[in-house]
Amino acid sequence: MELYNRLCTITKQENVMKDEPMKKHTTFRIGGPADYFVTPESKEEIQAIVELCKKEEIPYSVIGNGSNLLVGDKGYRGVILQIFKKMNQIRVEENKIYAGAGALLSKIAATALAESLTGFEFAAGIPGTLGGAVRMNAGAYGGEMKQVLKSVEVMTADGEFLTIPVEEMGLAYRTSVVEQKNYIVLEAVISLEKGNPEKIKEVMDDLKEKRVTKQPLEYASAGSTFKRPEGYFAGKLIMDAGLRGYAVGDAQVSEKHCGFVINRGNATAAEILQLMKDVQERVKKQSGVTLEPEVKFLGEF
């Protein structure tokens, strides 16, 4: 109770939940309870919560929309900080968009369209927040975050606030200095160009059509399950290994797109994990390629 009370002195009581089921906060719809689930409203609150956790030696983790995450069935011992709807402000100044780490990429893309700004179309259908997208340099259909970011405000592991220009962000395939140094993204500036709103909408509609027809959006998933191995496509390797539709319990390799592992309804983290291991083994045997998970693992399995 003492930790709960102290968290409630840092942020509002309504922002602190105990034994919160993580399946409510991941796009996989999987995950046991987190001891404490906190939704801070400012960078100062984040700073104070992290400081408290460090002082008391309590594990903590930061999540956004939970779109690239598999949380264990036994949940998470410690404090989850969710930077999402309470820190999702978006404002536009000329050709720049200033957005909080909790802003959804789809909302930023809609704002760009409304302001006739082009360059962010690729991200319109990525189901995550800006913080997660910056951390792993999210990309799709030939675009990636490093092409549009101007600067990022972070909190370092020592609790300092820093603004990092994009050139120093170390943005590469699915990684960044944020991931390497365990920084927390607070806000980012996105630099775009003036464009034709009809053309922008046309590109967004075209990409949406591609997603709807090629990806299993009707099922809970964490997006692409494995990273793209150099020179290959993970989905094709999985398909070539004869694993289209392969299932462990309610976890299944999507029949629509083999790069996705889906939750058909009541899959457990253990089933997803077993399926991923089976896929890795079979692909390695078939093609000699080692698939690396793109999904992040959190909590007790």
Known catalytic residues are 174, 224, 294
How many C-beta atoms surround the C-beta of residue 27 within 10 A? 17
Contacts of 6 (CB under 8 A, 6+ apart): 52
Instruction: Give the type of residue at 168.
Output: E
What is the H or E stretch that residue 177 is in?
A: helix 177-180
**CA–CA dist 179, 185 (Å, integer):** 10
**CA–CA dist 254, 272 (Å, integer):** 12
Instruction: Say if CB 130 and CB 163 are below 8 A apart.
Output: no
Place of tokens 């919560």: 49
Interstrand relation of 90-93 and 149-155 (parallel, antiparallel or unpaired): unpaired
